[in-house]
Amino acid sequence: MATTGWRPTDPAGTIESWPLVDRIGYRLAWAAGITLCLIAASVVLFLAVKGIQFISFDLLADRPIADIDQSKSGGFRDPLIGTVLLTVIGTLLAIPIGVATALWLTEYGRPTRLARAVESGVEVVAGTPSIVLAIFGLLIFSQGVFSFLSFTDTGGAVFGRSFFAAGAMMSLIALPLVVGATREALQSVPGHVREASYALGKTKAATIRRVLLPAVRPGIGTGAALGMGRIAGDTAIVILLLGASLQLQGVGGAPVVGDLRGTGSTLTSYVYLNSPAGEGNAPEKAYAAAFVLLMIVIALNYSISRIARGRQGGLSSAV
């Protein structure tokens, strides 16, 4: 935009003329931002220094083995696979349910009371600590009707712990993030875009399918990526609902389904169990695994910001 005779004012240049409270606030804001940067940098640096010196290909490729001698206790291949599996299951469940919820809330939302109830429900799920979700999940999935999802003991007791059970509860962690991001994206689509579709003789359903869903795809991606980060980082559900067995323990039967009905661990539970707080007492492996986990989450965050930036060329800014 061409402007004449006007230049952006440099806040630092005039700050001396500000009231004292503003000067203090201004410097506090700076300090807060820089402190956060420093904390983030030190976490990454600390883990990089601690983790990289122990990390090796063997560690990533070997199965963990219970052994007092740390040179024989293997790597964290299984927990790595566990993290990926659980993240995929949780996200695959969360996306359709979350998008459907967001669509209904934004595009229909009648009766209003029901919509408010659904909104509150999503908020409750979002605010529930994952350990509470985990214990609830254990209660549910130990019921006989869910025996197909996990290992059943010879006595008929349903174990209730499996990738299916943990993945289902993990999806609840990702769900509110998918709902929120999708709703936000839907709300940023101007009303006249919907009307343009109706004005071309399309029904509401066709408009949602052909116009709105493509328009909010980046929003769905953002929500899903945020949710994946949260799933990859959760520990409580893994310990309670995945069994946190060192190795992947398939139930047998069908190859993939058998593994998913079985137990396993993730990088988070591996870090916990190998840390000085856990039983393994192999801090160097915990550091290495923590570093890998951090890299995964940073990569997910990076992809979120890429998606979000790609969105600027999208519908909401162009119209």
Partner 1 sequence: MQSDATTDDLTPGAVPPVRRIMVDAEPTVVERPRRSNGGSADGDGAGPAGGATAAVTRATPSAGPKVERMRAEAVTIAYSEKEAVKSVSLRVRQGEVLALIGPSGCGKTTMLRSFNRLVELTPTATRTGIISIDGEDIDEIEVTGLRRRVSMVFQQPNPFPMSVFDNVAYALREQGSGRPSKEELMPQVSDSLERAGLWAEVKDMLDHPALRLSGGQQQRLCIARALAADPEVLLLDEPCSALDPKSTQVIEELILRLRDEVAVVIVTHNMQQALRVADHVGFMYLGELVEYGPAEQVFGRPRQQRTRDYVGGAFG
Q: Which residues bind partner 1 (CB under 8 A)?
A: 190, 192-193, 195-203, 205-206, 210-211, 214-215, 313-315, 318-319
Least distance in angstroms from the C-beta of 15 to partner 1: 40
Q: Which is nearer to partner 1, 31 or 200 (CB)?
A: 200
3-state helix/strand/coil string of 227-278: HHHHHHHCCHHHHHHCECCCCCECCCCCHHHHHHHCEECCHHHHHHHHCCCC
Least Cβ distance, residue 29 to partner 1 (angstroms): 36
Find the shortest distance in angstroms from Cβ 194 to partner 1. Answer: 9
* 81 contacts 269 by C-beta, under 8 angstroms: no
- Nearer to partner 1 (CB atom), residue 109 or residue 258: 109
Name the amino acid, one letter, at 144: G
3-state helix, strand, coil in the chain (%, to 5): 75, 5, 25
Shortest Å distance, C-beta 94 to partner 1: 23
Q: How far is the CB of 312 from partner 1 (least distance, A)?
A: 11
Contacts of 311 (CB under 8 A, 6+ apart): 185, 218, 219, 222, 317
Which of 302, 308, 307 is CA-nearest to residue 44?
302
Nearer to partner 1, 199 or 256 (CB): 199
For partner 1, the closer of residues 88 and 196 by Cβ is: 196
Nearest to partner 1 of 81, 193 (CB atom): 193
Q: Assign residue 281 a region (left: φ > 0; alpha: ψ between -120 and 50; beta: otherwise).
A: left
Least CB distance from residue 218 to partner 1, whole Å?
A: 10
Cβ pair 174, 230 in contact under 8 A: yes
Measured from the CB atom, the residue of 201 and 276 that comes closer to partner 1 is: 201
Strand partners, 264: 243
